[in-house]
Amino acid sequence: MNLQGVAAVVTGGASGLGAATAEMLASQGARVTLFDMNEEAGQAHAAKLGGLFVKVNVTDPANVGEALDAAQQKHGVARVLVNCAGIVLGSKTVGRDAVPHPLDQFRKVIEVNLIGTFNTIAQFAARLSKAEPVGEERGVIVNTASVAAFEGQVGQAAYAASKGGVVGLTLPVARDLAQFGIRVVTIAPGIFWTPMMAGLPKEVQDSLGKQVPFPSRLGKPEEYAQMVQSIIGNPMLNGETIRLDGAIRMPPR
């Protein structure tokens, strides 16, 4: 798909992987709408890209629907959706003094990372299914999982479950949407530089990067964006989860 003039939506587009993806899409001529909870950063990044920002809670069906309507009114029907919105909360199944994992925390991670992803997919695809195809396809959905879906570490039960759910829905959703010519692909990044990572001391960042076989460093957000671009450009990529991790396999800790 040629991105020139194509409307695209990026959730979590105000920072990190989402911001880099939005920048890549805009550089290719796409008309980009950013969904994020961070209004200040989202507005600033959208202005930089000549795009639209909408404050969106991806777990709220009404909010997502209204945001997609606003994006469509501004840029036309969106043909590309990249789901980068997500949160990380760590807690052991049984913590200190035999305290069980807080269930509300587990539920929140699942709600944002998994249910929020599916909510956005379903509402986006419902609108796109009514549009005319461009060539042999109508559009592309790219989701963000994590290598934690396969090798969750200590304290990552909630996060790994949420990202494992994203991996699990990729194929059936791709099969569901095949009749409309909408592809669905998931990226499972390894250890990438993100705003959360930026808060760690430099020596910790370097230590994490050295765990990656090659290249032995943190992944760059623009490398994630490059993978998104490759997925959009290759019509045979569908129903697959792609690890983008420098060959790392995460240890228990």
pLDDT digits (tens, 9 = 90+) for 43-94: 999 999 999 999 999 999 999 999 999 999 999 999 999 999 999 888 898 9
Active site residue 159: yes
Q: What is the pLDDT of residue 121?
A: 98
Is the per-residue pLDDT at 214 higher than 90?
yes
The pLDDT of residue 51 = 97
Query: Does 186 score more than 80 pLDDT?
Result: yes
Q: 199 pLDDT exceeds 80?
A: no
Task: Return the H-helix or E-strand segment holding 33.
Answer: strand 31-36
CB 129 within 8 A of CB 172: no
Q: What is the band of 208 on the pLDDT scale with cuts at 50, 70, 90? A: confident
The fraction of the chain above a pLDDT of 90, given in percent, is: 85
Angle between helices 116-128 and 157-177 in degrees, nearest 10: 20
Give yes or no for residue 216 having a pLDDT over 90. Answer: yes
Packing angle between helix 16-27 and helix 221-233, nearest 10 degrees? Answer: 50
Exactly one of 35, 106, 159, 224 is catalytic; name it.
159
Confidence of residue 202 (pLDDT cuts 50, 70, 90): confident
Return the C-alpha torsion angle 10, 15, 19, 20, nearest 10: -130
User: Under CATH, which architecture does the 7-244 domain have?
Assistant: 3-Layer(aba) Sandwich (3.40)
Predicted local confidence at residue 1, as pLDDT: 87
Phi, psi of 119 (to 5 degrees): -55, -45
Predicted local distance difference test score (pLDDT) of residue 192: 93
Q: Which residue has better confidence, 90 or 236?
A: 236
Q: What is the average pLDDT across 106-125? A: 98
Report the pLDDT value the prediction gives residue 237, as an integer from 0 to 100.
98
Q: Give the mean pLDDT of 124-140.
A: 96
CB 198 within 8 A of CB 181: no
pLDDT above 70 covers a percentage of the chain that reads 99
Domain boundaries, the chain: 7-244
Report residue 51 as tokens: 């795009």
Instruction: Give the mean pLDDT of the chain.
Output: 95
Nearest to residue 6, comparing CAs of 37, 42, 39, 33? Answer: 33
Q: Is the pLDDT of residue 198 over 80?
A: no
pLDDT value at residue 107: 97
Q: What's residue 111's pLDDT?
A: 97
